[in-house]
Amino acid sequence: MLKTTICTAVFALAMTLIVPLAARAADPAFCAGHADASINQVRGGLSNPNCARGAVGARWSPERHVHFDWCLSQPAVNAAAERQARTDFLPGCRG
């Protein structure tokens, strides 16, 4: 029983090290939607001078490929968190 438990634990650990990060990343279709939504939020933020002052960094890039490429390297939950961060920011700066 102990030997089986140890073997199972070793196997599970090995799989977390062997499975490439890309396998856990968001898929291209999801990332296309993420990039489109990001650009809509960025345009809204940058078009308002009050928002534009605080809209800095890659999160606010006006380049669609920046959002798409980043998303491809992330789990979907991280992309959703970025979208939520922009969503939370925008109402506070619109005055």
pLDDT of residue 41: 97
Q: Which among 73, 89, 76 has a CA at the least distance from the CA of 34?
A: 76
pLDDT, average across residues 45-49: 95
* pLDDT score, position 5: 46
* 45 contacts 37 by C-beta, under 8 angstroms: no
This prediction has a pTM of: 0.73
Taking the C-alpha atoms of residue 29 and residue 47, their distance in angstroms, rounded to an integer, is 27
pLDDT per residue as tens digits for the range 56-78? 999 999 999 999 999 999 999 99
> Residues 33, 76: contact at Cβ < 8 Å?
no
> What is the Cβ-side half-sphere exposure of residue 14, based on CA atoms within 13 angstroms?
6
1-43 pLDDT tens trace? 555 445 444 344 444 444 454 458 899 999 999 999 999 999 9
How far apart CA 38 and CA 55 sit, in angstroms, is: 12
Domain boundaries, the chain: 21-93
